[in-house]
Structure formats: C-alpha cells, structure tokens
Structure 1
Amino acid sequence: MPDSAVTPQHPATPQLAPPRGHEPFPVPWMSIRDRFDVVADWLPEQTAVVCQGEHITYSELRERAIGGARALVKSRKGVRRPIAIDTECTLDCVVAIVTVLVSGYPLVLLDSQLPEQRRTDILTRSHAARVRPSELAALPPSPDTPLHSGAPTDTAVLLFTSGSTGKPKAVRQGQRLWLNQAADFHTTLGTGASDRVGMALPISFGGGLDVVMTSLLNGATLHFLDPREVGIDAVPHWISSEQLTTLHATPSLLRAVMTACADTPSLSGLRLVTTCGEAVHGADVTRLRALLGPDASYCNLSGSSETGNLAFNAFPPGRPVPDGVLPVGVVAANKTVRLLGPDDAPVGPGEVGQIVVESDYLAEGYFVDGFGPGPLDDRFGTTDRGARSFRMGDLGRFDDDGFLHLVGRGDDAVKIRGYLVEPSEVESALRKIPAVEDAVVVARKLDNGSTTLVGYAALAQGDRAPSVADLRCELRSLLPDWMVPTNIVLMPTLPRNERGKVDRTALPDPTPRPPVVLPRSDTETTVAALWSQILGVDPIGRDDDFVSLGGDSLQTQQMLTQVEERFAVQFSSATLAGFPTLRQFSAHLDGTNSGAVAATSVLVPLHPDGIGRPVFAFAGAGSTALALLPLARELSRPVHGLQAHGLESRGLPDWTVAAAARRFLREIRRVQPHGPYAFVGHSLGGVIAMEVARLLEADGHHVQIVICLDTILGGPLSEGGPDLPRTAGTRPAVDGPAPSRGALWRTRFRLLTAGIVPRPAQKQWDLFHELGRRVALLHKLQPWHGRVAVVMAEDNPDEPSWWSIIAPNVVSVDRVSGDHVGMLRAPHVARTAALVRTALGDKT
C-alpha cells in the first residue's frame, strides 16, 4: 500500500493546551507529478473534482492531464516559458491547472475578475504564454512526447502577490514548497480520501490554489464554487447538497457565508472550517461555533506566498476562544521562526521582533528576468545549515503557550501626538463595536507633515446605522484619546482585491478637514468642549462643521440641550443647519439674547446656496429636517427641508396628510412662487409630497418629479388605499408588539398634548412618529399620475410592482444598501443621492 499520507485517518481532537510546534516530517517526492501519480494509482475510481454538476475521477484526471501536458510540450517546441491560464469556475479550468503542473512548465493564474490591464501586466512581467482551458484541451495529441522529469527546486507556480499595499511581486514557488504544503495539510488538518473539500475561494488566490493542491495530492474530492460568480446565497445549498466535510474561505467571505447560513443547518455537517488570508477575530469563531455541529473544529491558517504555511491556530470543541484578533498560532511543521531585534540578535521571551522564517520549503525567490538563481531580494537568504530563510517584514512575539502573535509590520507603527500607535490595535477595537461588520485602520500623512489615523468601517446589515460620532465615542471607551481616529469613513463594504484581501490602494480619502484653528473667545471654547464630548473629537477647530464631524439628529439635540442649559438660549436644529461651524454657531450664540427662543418654522434651509431651481425635501414622521442634511449636501441645487409643525416648537400638529400638505404648500410658495417644482420625500414625507404636488397641479402649476425615499406602502398606508397584490414571497411589514390597554391610553393622552407639552428630544420624536403612523392609517392613499421616482432601502418589505398602482407614471424603482434611516447617512447616502440626482436630471 502506498505511503500513509494518502490513507489518512482524521486525527484525534488536538490537545487543549497546544504544543509549541508541529513535529517535522519527511517530504519524499521529487515533483507534483510524482505525488499525483501515487494518488491516482491508489484511488483511480475516486472522484477527484466536482464543479457545477460535472465530475471527474482521479484516473480520468490523470489521463487528461498527462495527455494535455504532452500536447502542450509539443506545441511549445522546446521553449520553456510559463503558461498563464485564464481561471474560471469550471471543471475544465481545474483540468488545465493540473495539466500545466504535471507538464513541468511554471503555472501563472489570471483571475477572471482582474481588469484586463492587470492581466496584461502579469503576462508582460512573467513572459508567459496565455492559454485558455478550452485552447489547451483542443491541442493535437502527442502521446510520444516526453515530459520534463523535474527537480524539487523547479518553479511549479509563478504566483503574483496581491499588491494590496504596493506593486505585486512574482514569487517563484518551487515543487518542494507545494509538496510540503500537501503533507502539512494531511498531517495537521487530516485532509484525505474521506474528505469532500469545499473551496469557496478564488482558484487564483494563493489560498485557493492551496486547497486545490492539497486536496488532489491527498486523495480528497474537491468541490469548487466561486461565490463571486454565483452569489453568496448559493453557498448554503451547495454545502448541504454536496455533503461537504470541510469548508475553506477567507475571514471576510466566511462572515458573509455565516450570514447566508444563519437560518439553515448547512454548516452543521462540516467537520472542519478553515480561513486564511487576513486576521480573524474571536467573535468570528464564537459566531461560527453556533452554526457548526458539536464535534466540528475551526482552524485559521497563516502564511504568505514566499513562505507557504507559517502557522495553524486550531479551535477544536471545548477550546476557549479569546477576544480580539487571534494569534496566528503554532508554527507549521518543517518551518522555524526566529524573532530578531534591530541588531539581528534573538529577542527575549515574550518580546517583539522581526519575523524570520527558515525552512527547506520556502519559495525559490522572486522572478525578475528568468528562473535561475539571479539577483535575490535581500529578504531571502541561506542559513548555516543550507536551508532557505525569509524576512517577512512583520513583527511578532511568542506567548507562554508557544503561539505566534503578529503585531503589525515593522513600518506600521506610527507616532500620533507623540505616542507610538499600532493601527492594527485600533482596528481590533473598531471591530469590537457590534454595529461594525468589517474594519481596517491606516495611517495617512497630512500636508503639514504630521500623521493621522483613518478608520474604515463596513456596517453590519440589519442594524440601525450608527453615525461616525457614535463609533468615535464607543472607541473612546475602549482606547486612549490619542488612538481614536478623527476620521472614520463608513462604507457599505471594504474594497477587496481578487485575492479577498482589503485593497488599501482603493480606500477613499476621508473628507478633508479644515486646519484646526483653536477657539479664541470664551463662547467658542465652551461650545468646543460640548462638541468634543458629544462627537468624540479633540481638539475642535473654529472651522469644524458639526455634521461633517459625524453628528446626526440625536447628537444635534444633545448639543442644543446642553447649549440651552449653559447659555439659557433655546435653539432648534435649523440653527445648526444655518450656522454649522464652531465659528458661525458661536457668533450666532453671542448675538442672541439670554432667554431667547429661536423662531422655528416647518421650512428649514438645508443647502440654500446651491445653483438652479430648489428642491424641497420632506422629512419623515418624527424626524427633523436635519436628518436630510447629508443628502442635501450631496446635491448641487438649493435644498429646503420641511418638518412637522410642533416638532421643535410649541404648536398643534397636523392630524391629516391634507392639513400637513396645505401648511407645507404655503411655505413652499413663499420660497418658489411658480413651478416647475421638484420634491423629495422620506417615508411619510413622500406621501405628503405627492399630496402637495396634487394641490399644485390642481392650481395650474407643473411638478417636475416627486422622489419617494423608502415610503412604505404595505404598512399603515395600505389600510385605506388601493388593493396591493401580495404573493407568497411578500414580506410582512414589520410592526411592534401590540401595546397594553394602559399603554394605549397613555399614548392617546400624550398625542393630545403633542406639540404643546415640552418633552426631551427623543421622546418628542417618538411621539411624532406615532402621530405619523396614525395619520397614515387615516389617509386614503390615491394614485398620483405625475412623474415619480422611488428609492427603497434594503429592508423595505414592499413589492416594487406596487408603485405602478400608486404612481402609474413611475419612472424608476431602485434599492440601496442601508435601512430606513441608514440610507440617509454615510456611507449609503452617496448612492441615495446619486439616484436622486439622476431622477432630477442633474449631473451625477
């Protein structure tokens, strides 16, 4: 019987107190082809690969690969050049990859998602001949052509690094590196003939090729699916229908898979889940365990294109999961890690040092103009015993259990206000915030030569979108002030390259902040302290804008309440819209007499200095016009907001849509006596906007368009309106639990005093939101035949087709990321505004 590495038994549950390193083992084969022959001889009828309903056995795969390799060698006429394969999620692509690997030619992978310019660059730098899988399969047979015997140091793969932090490098990965990888997967992870391996990684990604190689060189059955091509929602069915035993992904992809599998048992049949490619957090493992079976394990793999496997961090059942970023784990077998100080001397126990990896199974170097020894990058070297060494550029330390921790790169640490800060530590804190799904923190140089931290956060789906100030204040409870980024950029998702890594070169620049000019007057100093406390920014400059620093409606009310307590002056949110910077707000405060109450109107100028005809933006029930300010600032036209009467000042509210429409119409005509008019309405504001449009058109005026932002038709508005056809897939409108009789009477009493009895801001908004719900229940929604554009949030339960009933001349119905409120905040407001500009006919 062949060697035991093709007849693996799944290893016993690892020790809960992990060893300091994996035991070394021999790697007896000379080439990938030698090893593949062993597997195919032993398991000829075993299924080797399954992809999109097609499958192939090991004997069939060997026959096609060896035959194709001979034909390839014949076609190349003795010219030894790398062969570049256009990757795709097909069985033929896997066959093509194995064909090149057994041919002796170096393999180059061209990812299907790469821009053509990047593919051209890879071809130029590698001198590779580009061959598509179909072209390779169509080569004339040449059964008598011999194949190159090969040596362990021959280049098997020319792998281009991700280039996420700079120019990609071409790494010459030898036959021996890949043979060691395969043996390591068998010994450490138990990969073998009984496994149905699920690869949800791009095949061109080093981690993806890792799974292909280690599956086929250990006799497992490889199941291949690329979520980028079929969508993440296809993954749960794929896992369960193929009865996979292992799943391999990046941490970011695994988070998406867990979301897609949340309400399914898809992951419960797996024995092992692994991730690679980036840092993983304890919260990820805890979340995964809730979806796995009781005997399943998780392991994070760390490594690089130059080193292959570096370390494994396995979490069998019962092993406690720490908080924060997980250590990379126990150093891989046949690898030695040394931590060196600035003088290249070993550091002491627990100390941080530069990571140097030593092994016979590292890459052969970087490709420059050929495959010979050539000039080597000074990061590669040779040890006294003749093994290869590589300086990773990362800093690390060993803990008392022998786990290796990465603590950043040697050039990552930056000075912030005189303190040395590791961006990875700030990133870890940002990820701890429940509303943050993904995050990265980078250092940026300012024009004045100083350095600042910029945080990028992708928010979790389904949660109410926090403001930048919310995140900053939460960070201040986790970190010292100097480590909290002043700039936090909210994004729907972090940009990633084809390898699944965060593409730092694609991270947008934060909105420029004006130079910090410190407060000069007593009023400015006092207000700056209030803003700093609420927004989590220190210091506050005279030209800083409250909303640009991340303040939302709630923080605005908190600030105005404190201003009233300190200065005995009552302002409204309109005050901040008109005087948004510290300098302007403080000057307005100085010019206001003590005890004054700012006059408020239902109309609030949000962006009065725009160009062209104005846009009137109607706030939703219980919302101030200030909630529309981020949207207004994205538009080039003048924008005036409209909010409920009595919301911010004493006054009887309007109890019907018609009454609100008449009041708003009077204010609109004062600003713009004649049409054409353009309206944007959020939530119930969309219904009021259509009613105002109806009144204007009845009076002979033209309304260009009404843009409804997440106006939900299937809730209270459906009670008295047209019949809206529902299907089995129609989601019910979400409503809270039925209130008790006592709560119902208390609400009725509060509603009767709405706008008359002063209340704290949040209670006032909640009361007016309930008032809006009752106004909607009483309203008889009638079709409006003017032009309507609709933008729906991702959690809107309505059927888009309903809008053709409510607005027969609807011109567009689009969805945006973010919830009902989040669509008006960064990062989603940029997409919302782009759709509004398109509907208005403005340049985007």
Structure 2
Amino acid sequence: MTAYSIPTRFAEQVARTPEATAVLEVASGAALTYRELDRRANQLAQRLIGLGVGPEDRVPVLVERSTGLVVAFLAILKAGAVFLPIHDAYPADRRQWVVDRAGASVLLVDDAMRAAGVPTGVSVVSVDDPALAEESAAAPEVPIHPDQLAYVIHTSGSTGQPKAVGVTQREVVRLLLDPQWLVRHHRRRLLVLPHAFDISVFEIWMPLMHGGQLVLAPPGPVEAATLRQLITTHRITGMHLTAGLFRVIAEEAPETFAGLGEIVTGGDVIAATAVSRVLEVCPDVVVLATYGATEGTVMSTQVPLTRGMRIGDIVPLGGALTGVAVHVLDDRLAPVPAGVVGEIYLAGEGAARGYLGQADLTAARFVADPLGLPGARMYRTGDLARRSADGEIEFAGRVDSQVKINGFLVEPAEVEAALAGHPGLAQFVVLAREFGPGEKQLVGYAVSEAGGLDLDALRAHARTKLPEYMVPAVFVELDSLPLTANGKLDRAALPAPGFDETPTRRAPNAPKTSLQQALCGIFSSVLAVPEVGVYDSFFDLGGQSMQAMRLLSRIKAEIGVTVPISVLFDFPTVAELAAHISAMSGSAAQSPPAQPRVTSNTGGIG
C-alpha cells in the first residue's frame, strides 16, 4: 500500500468530489462541502503557522462536536502538527495539566468553551473567529511525512497521571484504507461519542477518506430516541457505539438501529445476547464486533455478524486487520495451545510510536516481536484470551486491574493517586464492581484519619481532579481496609456497597402521587436498590450513563412519556422529574418542592 499522510489523502478526495457534502452539523444545520472544509482548514492552518506552530508540535483542541472540530483537526495536520483532543468532561485542573504537559504554545477552542474558561499559558484561537476568513486559503507549503505523529490521545495511567499515546499518520491511513471495510457503510457516518475517545479517529476520518459524509450529533448526551431520529432523518449508514451502550439499546430499544447498514461496537466485552437481539429485530443490519487498543491505532480485529449466523455465548475478537498480527502468548512469549489462557500482543502494523515523555513505560509495553522480522515490535495489551479449537480468539479478562468504564480504559490506581492527600483521608482504594449484567462502576472505599469523613466533600474533590467517568459512582466509608494473612490488601473482602452506604443518602420520602410512585419503582428497579425516596438523586444513588439510558426507556414503556436525557441531568430526583413531566403534559398531578441537591456524577456519557 502506498504510504500517505492524512492531508495528502484528503486532498485527493477533494479533487474527486469537491462539491459533495463532507460534514453536516445537526444542531445548527451547517454543512461544509469538501472544497469548503479544505478552504477553512487551510485558513486555520495558516493562522497556526503564523503563530509559530510547526512539525509535530502538539496543539490541544477544546471544541464541542461541530464543523469547527473537524476544521481544527484537519488544519492542525495541514500545519504539520499533532492534534490533541481534550475531553470536555475533564475538570479545569486536568485540562491545564494536559496543555502544560504537551508543551503547547497554541490552544484551539470554540466560543462556547472559551466562555466556560480555558487553560492558561498559551495563545488561544477560536475556530469561530470571523477573522480567520481573512487568512490565505492556499494550502500550506509544509512537507508532511507519513511517519509524523497525527494525534495524541490520553489514557488512564497507574502513576496517577494520564498516559499520552502518540500515533503516526501512516498508521491512521493504513487503518482507514484497509480493504476489509465495506465502503458503502461509510457513506453517511454518525459521530455521537466524545472526540477525545480514540474511536473518533475512525468515525471522523473514515467517511472523509472515502468521499462520504460525516454527520455530527448535537453536543452532549444522546439517548435511544434521539439516535433513532438521527438515523432516520439523515439516512445514516454506519456508526459506532461502545459495547455497554450498544447492549443497553439492544435490550431496551433494538429497533433504534433499523435502517443502518452497519453498527460498529467494541471497547469492552460485547454481549452475545445483545447482538442476537439486534439482528432479530433489524435483520438487514451488520453488527461489526471489533477489538483494539489506543496503543494499536484504534482497532486491530473485526468480525461482521449478520442474521442467520450462529452466535455462541461469547462474541469472538474476530480476524486481524490487514498487516496486523494478534499473538496469544505465555509469560515466556511463546504461543499458548488452544484452550489455554495467554496474554494478547498486537504485532505487525498498527503499533503507536509510544507514550510521549515516558520512555521507560514505552520500552516495557512495546517489546520485540519474537515471531516477527528482525526489529519488529509488538504491543503488550494486558488483555487475556484463549484460542478455541477452531482458532477463534476469546477474551478472558485482564492481567492487571484496569477496567473499562463507559468505553474508557480506567486504571484504579490513577483514581486512588488523585485523591491521596485529601484532608482527613487516611486510606483510599478503588474497585470496579458489576452493578448489572456487564455494567461496571467504580466504588471508592475510604478510611478516615479520625472518623466521620465527609463523603460528599470527597466526591466534590474527586470532580476537581478527574473526568466524570473516573469519579467513583459510590463512596463507602470503612473503619479499616481488610487485609490478607500476610498483611496485603484483601480486595476480595471489600464489601459490596449497600443501599445505606450510597453517598448523600437521605431518609426516604414517600411518594405523594401516582406518578411519583411509578417513578420511584422505576428508579429502584433500574438502580437495583430496595427503596427510593422522592428527593433521592438518580446520580447520587450510583446511576451512570448506562442506567440512565435504561431508566428513560422504562419511563417511556411504563408511563408513556419520552424524557430526553438532558432533562434527567437537570431534574435527577423523583420529585423534580415528576414535576417536570406533569408540567410538560399538563397533568394536574402535583409534586412537593424539590430539596437542594449535591452535584451529580453523570458518568461521562455522550
């Protein structure tokens, strides 16, 4: 395959389809043709170059899902630099750390993010600045080599700080031009996931490399009803959802995917029952199950699942992408026999350059490939798997304590390190627990120095240090941490959080209307707690994005009311939600005034 840079490949597509729509922003209706996208990216690139941005400089991007986001990414690449997306769920301290660690001189924002406050110490350029139209629209005369970095994505790290994974343009283009993809499924792709998530590299650039159209869902959370409307209205042919979100929609509203050509899922264990349910209701849809790692350029394997195929109890990882090899090795780096668990190593093409600024960690995770050519590397994933008798690779857990929360890989040690030193906190341990089938959440176990620890204050402190998806859903105070006979922490003996240990728990307030009673029952069922009062917040009871999707589906099925997920964020208690539903429906049902509430942990959806 000819080695391309992303801008070179995109320029060829502009020449082929200059007037075709490249990007559509649903929220505003704004659209850019390939020619317009190219022009705007050239103008922003010229501004960046004028500010001193050069080859492989990191340029952080703090922009909502919009046409401006796509312009920003392309402009950075045209300037020879590296785009570094910042998750808008990051608290201010973490955003500042990312910018400082990158050594950035320029930060790209939009007007909405700028108004909310942005990191300091850098030149700030808004992609919404009208003055950008005065810049030259000529393509920058900057040589770009395929082995230059394209982007940096941060993943959770055990040292207490995120790891910055750098991926080259060569590997991105290789992924996008893999002949295994069916181009017809990329004619109109819908982006709904956060663009700081590495799958966005595939979702954004896949249609743009093949003359398709990228459709941008409105900023913020997206629920099943919205997805269904977007898919129908914009004739979406393909999209990606994390395995957890896919499972919830498959169980609650599988008809959401009707009309799609392909739904891509991965990022965690894919429920076979969810796949079967979608294929039963939407027989023309292809469910593309994928496996990969940020360090392996998004995806390394794929398997298309279609109606009529036999799907067992476990969805296999599938076959390797072109040029990629998937090894299952023992601790001596020898292949394990069929049926024996080993660790997954990703070899061949696709390996990232490494962890920027962390040479020791790069050397430990990107190791020599004993099965490859001299000098070849492979990435040690930390995932366990076994090969079946017919050669299929089946996921079998993790070597370490890392877990997937809402599609993000989280290192509990990073959460523990972020909260170390909080006043009054003697010890703190984080554990991932399953609160429902396949629905993992973080639980924080705290031991105070003198008793009476303020768990609400601890949660608030966590939000200033961590993105929402890394903030434990539940905090539990213990007198001491359980230890094994040899004095080590006994994680297996940590108690499952009980209802009374849920943070900010108030005494139950009995429902006073039939609507409140119905909502209390739905809250209780979805959150798997025995009792819910009208002033209990859904999120303070441990609710996160997956349960929120399920809750809204149950409300629609049992009460007959469609509630947007944004409403749940604004009215998270039964009392507030009932009052809102009554007001919207014109019902005479009344609810008591809502009590003050603590800021909720939203779980990082959308």
CA drift of 1:113 comes to 2.4
CA drift of 1:156 comes to 0.8
Instruction: Indicate the residue corresponding to 2:172 in structure 1.
Output: 178
Q: 1:209 to 1:799 in 2, by over 3 A?
A: same
TM-score (norm 2): 0.66
**SS of residue matched to 2:593:** strand
CA drift of 1:681 comes to 4.1
Whether 1:208 and 2:197 are equivalent positions in the alignment is no
Q: In the alignment, which of 393, 404, 409 is matched to residue 398 of structure 2? A: 409
| Cα distance in structure 2, aligned partners of 1:814 and 1:635 | 11
**SS of residue matched to 2:394:** strand
| Cα distance in structure 2, aligned partners of 1:146 and 1:831 | 46
Whether 1:141 and 2:130 are equivalent positions in the alignment is no
Q: In the alignment, which of 279, 296, 299 is matched to residue 289 of structure 1? A: 279
Q: 1:64 to 1:398 in 2, by over 3 A?
A: same
Q: 1:182 to 1:118 in 2, by over 3 A?
A: same
Once the two structures are superposed, what CA deviation does each residue of 1:88-131 show, in whole Å capped at 9, x if it has no partner? 12112111111112221011112222212211111111112212
| Cα distance in structure 1, aligned partners of 2:220 and 2:575 | 25
| Cα distance in structure 2, aligned partners of 1:515 and 1:803 | 52
Whether 1:254 and 2:259 are equivalent positions in the alignment is no
Note if contact 2:257-2:263 (Cα within 8 Å) is conserved in structure 1: no
CA drift of 1:301 comes to 1.5
What amino acid is aligned across from residue 104 of structure 1 in structure 2?
Answer: G
| Cα distance in structure 1, aligned partners of 2:165 and 2:34 | 29
Instruction: Indicate the residue corresponding to 2:325 in structure 1.
Output: 336
| Cα distance in structure 2, aligned partners of 1:453 and 1:110 | 26
Q: In the alignment, which of 20, 31, 37 is matched to residue 61 of structure 1? A: 37
Instruction: Indicate the residue corresponding to 1:279 in structure 2.
Output: 269
How many aligned positions are there? 479
Q: In the alignment, which of 581, 586, 593 is matched to residue 812 of structure 1? A: 593
Q: 1:400 to 1:42 in 2, by over 3 A?
A: farther
| Cα distance in structure 1, aligned partners of 2:557 and 2:379 | 58
Q: In the alignment, which of 357, 361, 365 is matched to residue 379 of structure 1? A: 365
Q: How does 1:596-607 map to 2 (within 5 A)?
A: none
- The structure, 1 or 2, with the larger RCO (C-alpha pairs under 8 Å, 6+ apart) is 2
| Cα distance in structure 2, aligned partners of 1:78 and 1:272 | 38
CA drift of 1:281 comes to 0.7
Q: How does 1:40-439 map to 2 (within 5 A)?
A: 40-52=14-26, 53-76=29-52, 81-128=57-104, 129-133=106-110, 135-136=126-127, 138-139=131-132, 140-142=134-136, 146-162=140-156, 167-184=161-178, 187-192=179-184, 195-226=187-218, 228-229=220-221, 233-258=225-250, 261=253, 266-292=256-282, 294-308=283-297, 309-323=299-313, 325-368=314-357, 376-383=362-369, 384-412=373-401
Q: Which runs of 5+ in 1 are unaligned?
A: 1-25, 414-422, 428-439, 462-495, 517-537, 552-628, 640-679, 688-706, 711-729, 736-789, 817-829, 833-844
Instruction: Indicate the residue corresponding to 1:825 in structure 2.
Output: none
| Cα distance in structure 1, aligned partners of 2:430 and 2:8 | 53
| Cα distance in structure 1, aligned partners of 2:435 and 2:181 | 33
Instruction: Indicate the residue corresponding to 1:455 in structure 2.
Output: 433
Note if contact 2:54-2:80 (Cα within 8 Å) is conserved in structure 1: no
| Cα distance in structure 2, aligned partners of 1:237 and 1:318 | 27
CA RMSD of aligned residues (A): 4.9
| Cα distance in structure 1, aligned partners of 2:596 and 2:165 | 43
Q: 1:155 to 1:831 in 2, by over 3 A?
A: closer
CA drift of 1:207 comes to 0.7
Q: Work out which of the two has the higher radius of gyration on C-alpha atoms and give 1 or 2.
A: 1
Q: In the alignment, which of 3, 7, 12 is matched to residue 38 of structure 1? A: 12
Once the two structures are superposed, what CA deviation does each residue of 1:556-590 show, in whole Å capped at 9, x if it has no partner? xxxxxxxxxxxxxxxxxxxxxxxxxxxxxxxxxxx
| Cα distance in structure 2, aligned partners of 1:353 and 1:708 | 48
| Cα distance in structure 1, aligned partners of 2:90 and 2:583 | 34
Q: 1:346 to 1:458 in 2, by over 3 A?
A: closer
Q: How does 1:637-648 map to 2 (within 5 A)?
A: none
| Cα distance in structure 2, aligned partners of 1:732 and 1:78 | 55
Note if contact 2:24-2:30 (Cα within 8 Å) is conserved in structure 1: yes
| Cα distance in structure 2, aligned partners of 1:732 and 1:354 | 43
Q: How does 1:648-797 map to 2 (within 5 A)?
A: 681-682=510-511, 709=534, 791-792=574-575
| Cα distance in structure 1, aligned partners of 2:38 and 2:288 | 31
**SS of residue matched to 1:378:** helix
Q: 1:512 to 1:329 in 2, by over 3 A?
A: farther
CA drift of 1:412 comes to 4.8
Q: In the alignment, which of 506, 527, 543 is matched to residue 472 of structure 2? A: 506
**SS of residue matched to 2:317:** coil
Q: How does 1:571-590 map to 2 (within 5 A)?
A: none
| Cα distance in structure 2, aligned partners of 1:734 and 1:210 | 39
| Cα distance in structure 1, aligned partners of 2:396 and 2:383 | 8
| Cα distance in structure 1, aligned partners of 2:292 and 2:51 | 36
Q: Which runs of 5+ in 2 are unaligned?
A: 111-124, 417-426, 440-461, 483-491, 517-531, 536-554, 561-572, 601-606
CA drift of 1:180 comes to 1.1
Instruction: Indicate the residue corresponding to 2:552 in structure 1.
Output: none
Once the two structures are superposed, what CA deviation does each residue of 1:185-221 show, in whole Å capped at 9, x if it has no partner? xx22313587211222112210112211222112221
CA drift of 1:504 comes to 5.7
Q: 1:814 to 1:142 in 2, by over 3 A?
A: same
